[in-house]
């Protein structure tokens, strides 16, 4: 997305120069170069990431009696051997969910890990089923997993999770995702009156350099994707395109201790 925007700005500049409007064309070319520089060299990317990731801890302070740790998916990949595995960006979330499960069990409470994610990558295996294998290897028993294998995006993660939480009767809900994704996830889950405690599975920072770097451009893409998702949510609400928001008074379970 960052490079696409850069190329679009360059095309606009070239079009203006072609139509003999040198001042306007030069201005757009400066904007394009500035965009690539500030995103690729770190300053813009760092600012975008800092706002998205602030305020999210890697742990939970207090557990309840009936706890659900919601693990949000980050995609799957097909390995060279043909196996379906969690993507690079999913592993931090999976590890954090397993750590939280052990922490929760140590309190003596009832603890479940809900793995939310369908086959968004079209690999014929849902994220929830793939991640469950990793969680099992990390010591989370299948009996303590709740698999939600239908959702194709974060909004559906929240939508399809709501009935599972009500059925279980959780008094503590924890949302586990990448720090860069949590602001949007919290917003979407609140739409369905789910107010889980957000916990980050990973945290990324920009690398400041004199030349644009691919890592910074990738992180800028992630950040822009999240901001677009937040703006889209509010726009869809204003247009009445989202499913109706669940009123707070309809909540039958307490999600905070």
Q: Where are the domains of the chain?
A: 2-52+206-233, 56-204+242-250
Write down the pLDDT at residue 249: 56
- pLDDT band, residue 189 (cuts 50/70/90): very high
pLDDT at 256: 40
Residues 46-66 have a mean pLDDT of 95
Q: What percent of the chain has pLDDT over 70?
A: 96
Report how far residue 192's alpha carbon sits from residue 97's, in angstroms, rounded to the nearest whole number: 22
Q: What pLDDT score does 254 carry?
A: 40
- Mean pLDDT across 72-95: 95
**Main-chain phi, psi angles of 76, to 5 degrees:** -135, 165
Q: Between β-strands 84-86 and 76-78, what pairing exists: parallel, antiparallel or unpaired?
A: antiparallel
Close Cβ partners of 168 (under 8 Å, ≥ 6 residues apart): 66, 68, 112, 146
Place 74 in a pLDDT band, splitting at 50, 70 and 90. Answer: very high
Look-up: residue for tokens 């051997």? 81
CB–CB of 9/28 below 8 Å?
yes
Superfamily grouping for domain 56-204+242-250:
HUPs (3.40.50.620)
What digits encode the pLDDT tens for the residues 108-158?
999 999 999 999 999 999 999 999 999 999 999 999 999 999 999 999 999
Helix (H, G, I), strand (E, B) or coil at 176: strand
CA distance 245 to 257: 24
9-31 per-position pLDDT tens digit: 889 889 999 998 989 999 999 99
pLDDT band of 236, cuts 50, 70, 90? very high
């Amino acid at each position: 997305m960052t490079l696409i925007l850069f190329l679009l700005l360059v095309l606009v500049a070239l079009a203006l120069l072609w139509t003999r409007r040198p001042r306007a064309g030069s201005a757009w070319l400066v904007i394009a170069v500035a965009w690539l520089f500030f995103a690729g060299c770190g300053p813009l990317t760092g600012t975008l990431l800092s706002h998205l990731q602030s305020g999210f801890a890697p742990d939970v302070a207090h557990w309840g009696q009936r706890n659900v740790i919601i693990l949000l998916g980050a995609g799957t990949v097909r390995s060279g051997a043909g196996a379906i595995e969690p993507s690079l960006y999913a592993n931090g979330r999976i590890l954090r969910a397993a750590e939280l499960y052990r922490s929760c069990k140590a309190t003596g409470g009832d603890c479940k890990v809900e793995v939310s994610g369908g086959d968004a990558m079209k690999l014929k295996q849902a994220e929830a089923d793939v991640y469950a294998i990793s969680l099992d290897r990390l010591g989370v028993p299948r009996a303590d997993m709740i698999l939600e294998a239908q959702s194709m995006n974060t909004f559906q993660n929240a939508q399809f999770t709501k009935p599972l939480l009500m059925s279980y009767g959780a008094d503590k809900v924890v949302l586990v995702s990448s720090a860069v994704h949590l602001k949007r996830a919290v917003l979407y889950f609140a739409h369905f009156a789910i107010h889980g405690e957000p916990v980050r599975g990973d945290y990324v920072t920009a690398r400041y350099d004199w030349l644009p770097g691919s890592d910074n451009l990738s992180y800028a893409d992630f950040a822009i994707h999240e901001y677009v998702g937040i703006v889209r949510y509010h726009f869809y609400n204003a247009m009445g395109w989202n499913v109706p928001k669940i009123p707070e008074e309809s909540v039958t379970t307490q999600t905070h201790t």
